[in-house]
Structure 1
């Protein structure tokens, strides 16, 4: 692919592609001269491209035009087209409260206790891809695991973003429902903004391939301009399900249902093979036929930061370790915990 782009004069090759062996994909960056190239290709294929634009209800970007020509050349030369896609999608975690995503003060929660004996060496394993996690003092170190040296961090003034508690809230919801599970958290989203690229998120998802997880929680989502799932994200899901056909993947259905024109899909929730979870009674929860189930997601009480947090209005609050937060993120985590608990009980 790199050589093809070099020959077309749109990639100098100054930056080596970032390759993921599990995904079997490479990320090519530093494209140059793409605007001039796209102008020439539009003129060459103006009828075909115009027809595709009308059919899809959107205008091709310069990158769309480049990919169109690359696919044509591969088809002509090889009789086949390799998997090619755009890393143009930004995923974001899904909390929602008062339209700005801020949590409220919460009530102290008693740590959950096991409801039955579970062999310590064989717990149900739950994967979570989220923000870097802030470690709550109540979390058991033998039940919740994070990546080494990856944790939510404050700014230079010692103040945390509201997003710094997203993974904490999600992991806490799962732990509340399944205290006997072993929860593994990998960070792909920013603890400052709550977003991340589909490429980095896909890599963290695929990294679970050999972790023997039985449930995977994805409390984030993205909308794409063409209505198609991000290729890297789709590949990551396929990699995991190919390795374990019994794996249950749970994703937040998204908080855009209150818009005048909600999107048709939120990815990865709308993908085949993913259990999409909405929030009961929430106007922001997506209401599409791909939403599989609903769970509590309005003003949920959960584990949060016990440090100063800067809210969206620039004010600072200390939540003392607990908060009330709303969103399909937390509805998804509740379903993930329920599934993990049922698996531990032998109900699946």
Structure 2
């Protein structure tokens, strides 16, 4: 059944959403300005809970051409994508508002959604996150903790042997591959199948320290290959603004991957956003570009499976709408998208940071995973450490990532490996499981959705030892080698 109406705070914002820190917002803003993109936010100063594209709105794919023409007379015009390409017909349309428009993009979209016949057809162009600088939100859930290099430290999940994932193509829509990804990480470089990708943008700060958002795509690729060592993996650098990108651009990147020949079997998207409401608040907030992705996935000629993170707000079951993972809770999209929540280290309950609810397909190991990370010095930016969990008081369990993190300002040195937590990293564990199942028998080659349906039969439910919520999980961890 469709998701029920979302609970909302007194000021109209969705409940349970963690604020983006000032430091994160500053880093994102600086990166986006290089491409002439500016933002508006709610609240407008300090640490915002929502960020969107300034001076632009989105019109749904079902908004007729004459409606666009009418908007044009009021100063809204269709613009090109950031790479200069024209927008494709049949998708949500990005419109630039007139430079003399005094209302915010949110106010314009809200006004249009209240016009007869246009209800719910406009939205702001939300910012999608995969990483953060300071202040816990979205993906990942904590900051990386460097560990001894391989082989002194073995990745977790550990590298598998054999041909698991053979013949399976995985696309990772993320931050690219960081420098040093192919040094002393044999699970990423050995074997007949290739790991490739775009170079990560801005891995290091001017002072030589590792940026807070860096290494996300590399870590994810490493997890996939540990679970499915023979899978082919390609990592894009779509999320190039300090681990973030506009919703319209992320949807474009996913659809372009789906349009390649041959298309990948599985897309790993360890990212998402909580859209800002731009209508009367009834039902779900609008996520027009992600709806385009869902409609593309459900075309008869499409066989790709989208596996995406459930988000790290520590909220649920109806306190937060995190897209595109939310679409796994809609019956019409259940077969094309998998939403992955995170288990804590002992697998006896969900990790404190994981979003949860009936829309989450499966929960997988997501706390203190170990994999490849850029080498160099890293300074902790988050105000964590101490005795209080960021998400729950009292803590759901002892030893969660929130209360074991180093204090802000601590500087450590990475030698190419790190421990990291988040639904971001539970997601590639599930991707690896699907790829392994696809390669196990010919009946699943080229059929990732059928492989996932088969895996669903393995799921069991456990009662979360923290608060009694029931969680679908795989009965066993990924094998230890």
Q: Same fold (TM over 0.5)?
A: yes
Once the two structures are overlaid, the 10-residue window that deviates more, 325-334 or 82-91, is 82-91
Task: Answer yes or no: is 1:172 the counterpart of 2:222.
Answer: yes
Contact 1:94 1:219 in 2 (8 A): no
Name the residue aligned to 1:4: 70
Cα distance in 2 between the residues matched to 1:33 and 1:63 = 16
Q: 1:246: which partner in 2? A: 303
**1:239–1:262 distance in 2 versus 1, CA, 3 Å:** closer
Q: Which of 431, 450, 463 lines up with 1:336 in the alignment?
A: 431
TM-superposed deviation, 1:263: 3.0
Equivalent positions of 1:269-284 (< 5 A) are 269-271=325-327, 272-273=333-334, 274-280=337-343, 281=349, 282-284=351-353
Q: Is the CA contact (8 Å cut-off) linking 2:210 and 2:378 kept in structure 1?
A: yes
Specify whether residues 156 and 32 from structure 1 end up closer, same or farther in structure 2 by C-alpha distance, changes over 3 A only. same
SS for the counterpart of 1:200 is: helix
1:235 aligns with 2:292: yes
| Residue of 90, 107, 120 corresponding to 1:61 | 107
Cα distance in 2 for residues equivalent to 1:236 and 1:154: 32
How far the C-alpha of 1:116 sits from its partner, in A, is: 3.5
Shift of 1:130: 1.0
- Paired with 1:35 and 1:140, the residues of 2 have a C-alpha distance of 53
Name the residue aligned to 2:467.
none
Given the two structures, how large is their TM-score scaled by the length of structure 1?
A: 0.77
Aligned with 2:245 (options 174, 181, 196): 196
Aligned to 1:21: 88
For residues 412 and 241 of structure 2, the distance between their equivalents in structure 1, rounded to whole angstroms, comes to 17
1:152 Cα offset (Å):
4.6
Of the three residues 189, 193, 214, the one matched with 2:265 is 214
The match for 1:109 among 149, 154, 179 is 154
Residue 20 of structure 1 contacts residue 203 of structure 1 at CA under 8 Å; is this kept in 2?
A: no
How many residues were matched structurally?
309
Which residue is 1:89 aligned to? 126
Length-normalised TM-score, structure 2: 0.57
1:255 Cα offset (Å): 1.0
Query: Who is 1:205 aligned against?
Result: 254
Partner of 1:46: none
Q: Measure how far apart 1:63 and its partner are.
A: 2.4
Which of 155, 175, 184 aligns to 1:131? It is: 175
How much has 1:28 moved relative to structure 2? 1.9
For residues 107 and 104 of structure 2, what CA distance do their matches in structure 1 show?
Answer: 12
Query: In the aligned structure 1, how far is the partner of 2:417 from the partner of 2:290?
Result: 32
Is 1:163 the counterpart of 2:200? The answer is no
Between the aligned partners of 2:91 and 2:318, the Cα distance in structure 1 is 34
3-state DSSP class of the match of 2:291?
Answer: helix
The whole-number CA distance in structure 1 between the counterparts of 2:286 and 2:321 is: 9
Structure 1 vs Structure 2 CA RMSD: 3.3
Question: Taking structure 1 as reference, are residues 179 and 333 closer, same or farther at Cα in structure 2, changes over 3 Å only?
Answer: same
Cα distance change of structure 1 residues 284 and 35 upon mapping to structure 2, 3 Å threshold:
same
Structure 2 equivalent of residue 295 of structure 1 = 364
**Which of 320, 324, 330 is the matching residue for 1:264?**
320
Determine the structure 2 residue equivalent to 1:41: none
Write out per-residue CA displacement over residues 79-121 of structure 1, whole angstroms, 9 at most, x where no aligned residue.
xx799533431211268999472111235337846413887xx
Q: 1:246 to 1:344 in 2, by over 3 A?
A: same
Unmatched 5+ residue regions in structure 2?
1-64, 278-283, 328-332, 344-348, 382-407, 445-450, 452-481
User: CA 1:132–1:243 in 2, change beyond 3 Å: closer, same or farther?
Assistant: farther
Structure 1 residue 237: Cα displacement: 3.2
SS at match of 1:20: coil
How far does the alpha carbon of each residue in 1:137-184 deviate from its partner, in whole angstroms, 9 at most, with x for none? Answer: 22328521213x554532222222121111111111111111111111
- Partner of residue 54, structure 1: none
| 2:421 alignment partner in structure 1 | 326
2:91–2:289 CA contact under 8 A, matched in 1: no
Q: 1:307 matched to which residue of 2? A: 376
Question: For residues 248 and 98 of structure 1, do their structure 2 counterparts lie closer, same or farther at Cα, with a shift above 3 Å needed?
Answer: same
2:299 and 2:378 map into 1 onto residues whose CA distance is 41
Partner of 1:44: none
Larger helix proportion of the pair: 1
Residues 288-326 of structure 1, C-alpha deviation per residue, up to 9 Å, x if partnerless?
A: 110111100111112111122332134433221111111
For residues 96 and 298 of structure 1, the distance between their equivalents in structure 2, rounded to whole angstroms, comes to 19
Within-5 A mapping of 1:136-147: 136=181, 137=183, 138=185, 139-140=188-189, 143-147=194-198
